Amino acid sequence: MSGLPSLRAVMLMVTAVLAVTAAAGVVTVMLDDDLVGTSQEPVRRPSRQPSAAPRLDQLVPTAQPVQDFGAGGPGVTATPPRVLAIARSAVPKETRLKLGALKHVQKAIVVDAGAVTVSGTGLNLLAVDPVDFRSWTPQPVADQPAVWSALARGELVADAGSMRRLGMMLGAMYQVDGGPKLRVAASATLGLAGVDGLVSADVGRSLGFAPGVAVLLHGKPGKISAAGVRKLLGKGSQVVTLDAHARTPKSNQPDRQSPQTVNVGRPGSYLELYKASATRCPGLSWTVLAAIGQVESGHGRNNGPSSAGALGPMQFMPATWKHYGVDGDGDGKADIWSPYDAVPSAANYLCANGAGKGGEKLRKAIWFYNHSWDYVNKVMGIAEAYARTYA
């Protein structure tokens, strides 16, 4: 891709105002299998339980001591943008200072922006410095070191809504028309209406992005004057108040289901633990939990942390655990390292994404657990094998 993108292409990221979530709360950062340590090998549906795995009724869960796993990062405090604007040209330093001085504006940043085309599909991207931009994302995203290391490696971090809308796959390489290949290394709800993803500033320069045209402002929600921003940026600038897009459209939400509160106690085997935990989600087979436990940690034999920071027998990211982790054995704490908490927490997360409804909704719920259809197929194949073994 040579030269700067057209103004029309750059402005598309705002004028389109896609129905992309701007969530600032429950976010699951979705990493590809290379990052979380699960396999991408071709799926083979086993005719019996894999010989490498011991029988579940003979495998005793072991609760490791509670460990302080922190927030998955160096303590970055998120200050999400309230306004996103695109100027016709690079915003000069004087204008940047005036933007920062606007009433109710507490913080301002200017980054590069542009559009690329992949197989005829346009993607609107921001090019950012991972260190400077980290606090401009929702807290659960800021807490994920894998997102920011992916940017530092020159890879693409895609918005979760755009991933679903465009049918993109984590870990896949995408050829930019007239440019390099970009690997989708991570996906997260970025909270930026009309923005399909992030790349590093270096990658943006190599793609010929327009320098310094995207403005983000943080301040009191709903109080920053869009008219004031537009006046400073001049004629032709585009301004979007992100607070107006803060709710996820129903069409982009997973099919939710309310998990039940079930205390699983401390069963004497993994088989009993999976069966007890599945009762948190009516309609969910225990074999699915067992298959995920096998793929993620070999039923607690490899609890991590993974290279991405996933922890425990069900390999939760700490930020996800904060929202879905439960006290499964009733000891007064939710311990990410304890199978008695981690397995029912996995049932809790799957159920919240519609797993108990079966069929394609179950497959989609497993996909939310790890955004790879190969992973889904592998889990379903192992689950079928467990169903036959323990029939």
Measure CA of the first residue to CA of the last residue in the chain; give whole Å. Answer: 57
Distance from the Cα of residue 107 to its chain's centroid: 25
Residue 101 has phi, psi (to 5 degrees) of -90, -5
DSSP label at residue 390? T
Query: What's residue 260's pLDDT?
Result: 60
- Do 166 and 128 belong to one domain? yes
* CA angle (84, 163, 134) in 5-degree steps: 45
pTM of the model: 0.50
Q: Is 247 exposed, middle or buried (CB count within 10 Å of its CB: 0-12, 13-18, 19+)?
A: exposed
Q: Is 309 exposed, middle or buried (CB count within 10 Å of its CB: 0-12, 13-18, 19+)?
A: buried
Range of the domain at 309: 55-73+254-389
Domain count, the chain: 2
**45 in any annotated domain:** no
Rounded Cα distance, 251 and 86, in Å: 27
Rounded Cα distance, 385 and 56, in Å: 13
Task: Give me the amino acid identity at 389.
Answer: T
**46 in any annotated domain:** no
- Do 213 and 141 belong to one domain? yes
Contact 20, 194 (CB under 8 A): yes
Per-residue pLDDT of the chain (391 residues; tens, 9 = 90+): 434 344 334 334 333 333 233 333 333 333 333 323 333 333 333 333 443 456 887 777 875 543 333 333 345 788 889 999 999 999 999 999 999 999 999 999 999 999 999 878 899 999 999 889 999 988 878 877 778 888 988 999 999 888 878 877 777 788 998 888 888 887 888 889 889 999 999 999 999 999 999 999 999 888 999 999 999 999 889 999 987 554 444 434 445 565 665 566 788 889 999 998 998 888 999 999 999 999 999 999 888 888 778 899 999 988 889 888 988 888 888 999 999 999 999 999 999 889 999 999 999 999 988 888 999 999 999 999 999 998 7
**179 in any annotated domain:** yes
Query: What's residue 259's pLDDT?
Result: 61
Contact 292, 363 (CB under 8 A): no
DSSP label at residue 226? H
Rounded Cα distance, 189 and 142, in Å: 11
Among 293, 352, 357, 363, CA closest to 324: 352
DSSP label at residue 191? -
- Do 225 and 319 belong to one domain? no
Query: What's residue 383's pLDDT?
Result: 94
- Do 141 and 203 belong to one domain? yes
- Do 186 and 267 belong to one domain? no
**384 in any annotated domain:** yes
- Do 197 and 67 belong to one domain? no
